[in-house]
Chains A and B, each alone.
Chain A
Amino acid sequence: MSTPILEVNDLKKHFPIRAGFFGGTTGYVYAVDGVSFSIAKGETLSLVGESGCGKSTVGKAILRLFDITAGQVVLDGQRIDDMPYGTLRPMRRRMQVVFQDPFSSLNPRMRVRDLLAEPIRNFGLAKDSADLERRVGDLMDRVRLPRDAVNRWPHEFSGGQRQRICIARALAAEPDLIICDEAVSALDVSVKAQIVNLLQDLQKELGLAMLFISHDLAIVEHMTHRVAVMYLGKIVEVAPKRQLFAAPKHPYTEALLSAVPVPEPGAARERIILKGDVPSPIKPPKGCRFHTRCPYAFDRCRQDEPQLRQTEDGHFAACHLHDLPAADNPLAGARGAAVIAHH
């Protein structure tokens, strides 16, 4: 196997909580607390989880929109988390981002041409102004927007069209990796399908690697090669898509799958309804972070923190249940079909 395009090792990001007159630190938000994964060239890895689980923070940490607390971010063999900003700048070209809200992702006071030209100019990708113009036109073709729309302002476009502009801007830098931070979550169903298809086509055509951050499991299943599930700042399960959806090996993944409403009225499925809410990332629970809501928790879960371990080939989960004999392990079978529902 060749070097992965992106490797994240034990990434931690703790945001200090400042309070009082002198702004002293009174505690930390453990937003991301030890996350490791890698993405191969041309691969899509999805990071799923509920709000506040730290998935967006991981994305921003990789992009180095802030400095991380601990760990490593390695882009194509080079560590970028401790690189000085001057050296980092050319590396930024190789990873680009598409955010959730298409309305605040585009500077309202710049025309589409200038929005797309910005990364091309910054990274010196165009030979001359004619080349720049040609590149901008090509980008518009790629995202299936009319070329003459480059002279228009962002507010003249609908949400879906703006998201196409955001994708075009990300492509302008000719990246190897695109981070999609909830990139289709704010869109209407019919528009969402257009953007999902566009992203898939682009990935195939350009061989892009993708980190697809989302809370929507159905879209994730449609888009991705592998899935990493996050809960309270940690990855609780990583597996190739088919394995994860067929046989989730972490109770949280199982509950997530069971909670997604499916458009099949009267579908016979087993429901696992988790009790309570996600605990605060300021005071994460001792032991397994999920034990407060886990339907299968036993004594050990309240004491020991489980580590991410391989349960079968390429399938990792952080759960003590897998130390029990198979007969006592509720997650031993292929549970996916039961909780997702099939006729």
Chain B
Amino acid sequence: MSASVLSPGDVSAATVKAAAPLPDIMPPVKVRKGLWGFMYRNPSIAIGGTIVLLMILMAIFAPLLWTVDPTALAPARRTREPSAQYWFGTDMLGRDVYSRVVYGARVSLIVGFAVAFCASVAGLTIGLISGFVRWADGIIMRVMDGLMSIPSILLAIALMALTRGSVGNVILAITVAEIPRVSRLVRGVVLSLREQPYVDAAVSCGTRTPVIIWRHILPNTIAPMTVQATYVCASAMIVESILSFIGAGTPPIIPSWGNIMAEGRALWQVKPYIVFFPAVFLSITVLAVNLLGDGLRDALDPRMAKRL
């Protein structure tokens, strides 16, 4: 088994036998790099992200998008059908439904993003404490179990009943209802990260616990947190609409998709477009946010990345 059976000297070019070339059995892959490549590989992120981005732009630049004052009353022109002048028609008070829907995006998006952010921060904090402080874990998790046993919409309604209808209070109420889900997720992630050998290695390297949390645990919770935040965002938009629809949400003076639908409800059978347009915008936005979340989950899941 020594290398002596190899003798590089005694081979002349004439005796060299080359292997037969192998055919390609697949068309070549065009390697796409950069942002376009990422979008191509993750169509859900591309589609979901684009729609969400368009909605955000629409909400920001609402005044420039051929809208009129969404609160301007015009009893003479009420309940007009959609036309070139009133793209989505007018409601029973003569307000332009198109303008109201475009401005209504502001409330939905603000509530969605604010709840996602606040619930993430609060959930992260609670989850980290729960995952690291053993004695607190039992208490915190039982409280969370209790909160989760109340349907989140009921909890939000109850909280809204205690306060005055405003966007801030809506955000607060929905956030409280969403926190248990997020903190359970974070706790689970933290507990599994604590078992990782690199955390043991860091302990052996003399790293103090706060630094371990900051440097080794926290950055690795960001990916699953981001995915969860998109789902929270989508669900918050729906809850906000429901609250507004039943009159427990944003005050009627601020147009939101929920209260536009609520106002159109009485005329649903004769003037369905008043309900139809805000409903379509809500569905598309929620769908887009969920698509984005699914795409992020696939792209950020390390198990998926390791395949092939």
Determine whether A and B are in direct contact in the complex, meaning some CB atoms lie less than 8 angstroms apart.
yes
Q: How far is the CB of B290 from chain A (nearest CB, A)?
A: 27
Known: A108-B220, A108-B302, A109-B219. A118 touches B207 (CB 8 A): yes
Closest B residue to A88 by CB, please name it.
Answer: B206
Known: A107-B216, A109-B220. A166 touches B201 (CB 8 A): yes
Which residues from chain A contact B197 at a C-beta distance below 8 Å? 99-101, 104-105
| Interface presence of A92 (CB below 8 A) | yes
Which residues from chain B contact A172 at a C-beta distance below 8 Å? 205
| Interface presence of A310 (CB below 8 A) | no
**List of 3 A-B pairs having minimum Cβ-Cβ separation, nearest first:** A119-B205, A122-B206, A99-B197
| Interface presence of B269 (CB below 8 A) | no
| Interface presence of A164 (CB below 8 A) | no
B208-237: which residues lie under 8 A (CB-CB) from chain A?
A: 208, 215-216, 219-220
| Interface presence of A63 (CB below 8 A) | yes
Total A residues in contact with B, Cβ cutoff 8 Å: 28
A118 touches B205 (CB 8 A): yes
A63 touches B200 (CB 8 A): yes
B204 touches A107 (CB 8 A): no
B198 touches A107 (CB 8 A): yes
B196 touches A104 (CB 8 A): yes
Known: A104-B197, A106-B198. A122 touches B207 (CB 8 A): yes
Closest B residue to A124 by CB, please name it.
Answer: B206
| A104, B198: Cα distance in complex, Å | 6
Q: How far is the CB of B32 from chain A (nearest CB, A)?
A: 20
Other A-B pairs, 13, CB within 8 Å; known A92-B204, A96-B204, A122-B208: A63-B200, A65-B204, A92-B205, A95-B204, A100-B197, A104-B196, A104-B197, A105-B197, A107-B215, A118-B202, A118-B207, A119-B205, A173-B205
| A105, B202: Cα distance in complex, Å | 9
| A65, B203: Cα distance in complex, Å | 7
| Interface presence of A215 (CB below 8 A) | no
Known: A107-B220, A110-B215. A119 touches B206 (CB 8 A): yes
A65 touches B200 (CB 8 A): yes
Closest A residue to B216 by CB, please name it.
Answer: A107
Closest A residue to B207 by CB, please name it.
Answer: A122
| A232, B137: Cα distance in complex, Å | 33
Selected contact of A63 from candidates B204, B215, B216, CB within 8 Å: B204
Q: How far is the CB of A101 from chain B (nearest CB, A)?
A: 6
Interface residues as binary, A162-174 with B (CB distance below 8 Å gives 1, 0 otherwise): 0000100100110
B158-210: which residues lie under 8 A (CB-CB) from chain A?
A: 196-198, 200-208
Closest B residue to A92 by CB, please name it.
Answer: B206
Interface of A toward B, CB cutoff 8 Å? 60, 63, 65, 89-90, 92-93, 95-97, 99-101, 104-110, 118-119, 122-123, 166, 169, 172-173
Which residues from chain A contact B201 at a C-beta distance below 8 Å? 97, 99, 105, 166, 169
Which residues from chain A contact B200 at a C-beta distance below 8 Å? 60, 63, 65, 97, 99
| A106, B205: Cα distance in complex, Å | 13
| A96, B203: Cα distance in complex, Å | 10
Closest A residue to B202 by CB, please name it.
Answer: A118
Closest A residue to B196 by CB, please name it.
Answer: A104
Q: How far is the CB of A63 from chain B (nearest CB, A)?
A: 5
Which residues from chain A contact B205 at a C-beta distance below 8 Å? 92, 96, 118-119, 122, 169, 172-173
Counting chain A CB atoms within 10 Å of each CB, the highest count among B201, B202, B302 belongs to: B201
Q: How far is the CB of A62 from chain B (nearest CB, A)?
A: 10
Q: How far is the CB of A123 from chain B (nearest CB, A)?
A: 6
Q: How far is the CB of B221 from chain A (nearest CB, A)?
A: 11
Closest B residue to A102 by CB, please name it.
Answer: B197
Counting chain A CB atoms within 10 Å of each CB, the highest count among B200, B208, B216 belongs to: B200
Which residues from chain B contact A101 at a C-beta distance below 8 Å? 197
Closest A residue to B218 by CB, please name it.
Answer: A109
| A173, B205: Cα distance in complex, Å | 7
| A122, B216: Cα distance in complex, Å | 14
B206 touches A105 (CB 8 A): no
Counting chain A CB atoms within 10 Å of each CB, the highest count among B197, B204, B220, B302 belongs to: B204
| A89, B205: Cα distance in complex, Å | 9
| A63, B204: Cα distance in complex, Å | 7
B206 touches A123 (CB 8 A): yes
| A97, B208: Cα distance in complex, Å | 17
Closest B residue to A60 by CB, please name it.
Answer: B200
Show 20 residue pairs from A and B whose CB-CB distance is below 8 angstroms, ordered by the A residue.
A60-B200, A63-B200, A65-B203, A89-B206, A99-B201, A104-B197, A104-B198, A107-B198, A107-B202, A107-B215, A107-B216, A107-B219, A119-B205, A119-B206, A122-B208, A123-B206, A169-B201, A169-B205, A172-B205, A173-B205
Closest B residue to A123 by CB, please name it.
Answer: B206
Which residues from chain A contact B302 at a C-beta distance below 8 Å? 108
B219 touches A105 (CB 8 A): no
B91-135: which residues lie under 8 A (CB-CB) from chain A?
A: none
Which residues from chain A contact B219 at a C-beta distance below 8 Å? 107, 109
Closest A residue to B198 by CB, please name it.
Answer: A107
Q: How far is the CB of B218 from chain A (nearest CB, A)?
A: 9
B224-256: which residues lie under 8 A (CB-CB) from chain A?
A: none
